[in-house]
Amino acid sequence: MNFHTFAMTGIPRNARNVAISALLLMAALLPVEAGARETGFLNRTIKSGGVTYRYQVYVPAEWSAKQRWPVILSLHGAGERGDDGLFSSELGLGRAIRRNARAFPFVAVFPQCPESATWADKHIQEMAMAALESAIREFRGDRARVYITGLSMGGYGTWEMAMRYPRFFAAIAPVCGGLRAPNGYPEIFSKQVNLNTADPYAEAARKIGAIPVWIFHGARDPVVPVDESRKMAAALKSAGAPVRYTEYPDASHNSWDRAYAEPELVKWLLAQRRKP
């Protein structure tokens, strides 16, 4: 018996009308329910400071509203700046997720920094935090398990945002970042510390406090000198902060592919929880 026969045969007119109305209502609700279960890399926009920014959010295939999810904010490098909202997830963490999605049970947020700005700019940090907050609310993020990572300019941004929001993140993972301007990029440098002091790295460590940190860098990096990460690791260690440092002896600037493929990284991140 087809749907038409089932719906029309042997049913009083009033009951038939009620049944049809119910079916139409169910059909109208289906797209909303399906949309609520979207997964993968999703396009989003956020308005911050009167400006609308495009960005992406990655939602695991197994996402469910029945539980809270860890959330990671990922900051791209200088070469991915723009306004398309897409290129921000092409390298680093985004590429690692595309290669092995099952290894990353996070909601991941990929804001995009405009061409004329850096992650050290206050209004850009506020935009990134607004995108993060939106994803936490939309996808049931666990506020005790919010993390931040970034590569190159995003590594600088990771340090900057950890200093500005030391009580927000449960752990940070900067990749080939630093405080002083990298070679060829004079616009990228820390604005959270005074770089003219005797030891700006110690000042940065004091601002970061006790946030667990895992630093990655390539020993042959021609863009961001490896000393930037070495000095940050030493300053954090001297301050008694929980810090891990991984240096790849044969890696140049691209140390991010190896960093995000580290088998212990996800396990380490998920073990970190922010205390109330």
Phi, psi of 146 (to 5 degrees): -115, 125
Q: What's the pLDDT score for residue 38?
A: 85
- Rounded distance between C-alpha atoms, residue 17 and residue 126, angstroms: 53
- Rounded distance between C-alpha atoms, residue 175 and residue 158, angstroms: 9
Residue type, 79: G
Residues in the chain where the model's pLDDT stays below 70: 1-37, 276
Q: What's the pLDDT score for residue 276?
A: 65
Q: What's the pLDDT score for residue 275?
A: 79
Question: CB burial class (10 A; 0-12, 13-18, 19+) of residue 1?
Answer: exposed
Q: What's the pLDDT score for residue 6?
A: 30
- Rounded distance between C-alpha atoms, residue 48 and residue 133, angstroms: 12
pTM here is: 0.86
- Rounded distance between C-alpha atoms, residue 168 and residue 161, angstroms: 9
Q: Which helix (H) or strand (E) holds 76?
A: none
Question: CB burial class (10 A; 0-12, 13-18, 19+) of residue 121?
Answer: middle
Put the strands of the sheet holding 141-151 in their side by side order.
40-48, 51-59, 107-110, 69-75, 141-151, 171-175, 213-218, 243-248
3-state secondary structure of 88: helix
- Owner of token pair 């279960």: 37
Q: What's the pLDDT score for residue 83?
A: 96
What percent of the chain clears pLDDT 90, i.e. is strictly above it? 85
Closest CA to 150 of 129, 132, 175, 130: 175
Q: What's the pLDDT score for residue 11?
A: 39
Are 208 and 238 in contact by the 8 Å Cβ rule? The answer is no
Q: What is the DSSP string of 11-23?
A: --HHHHHHHHHHH
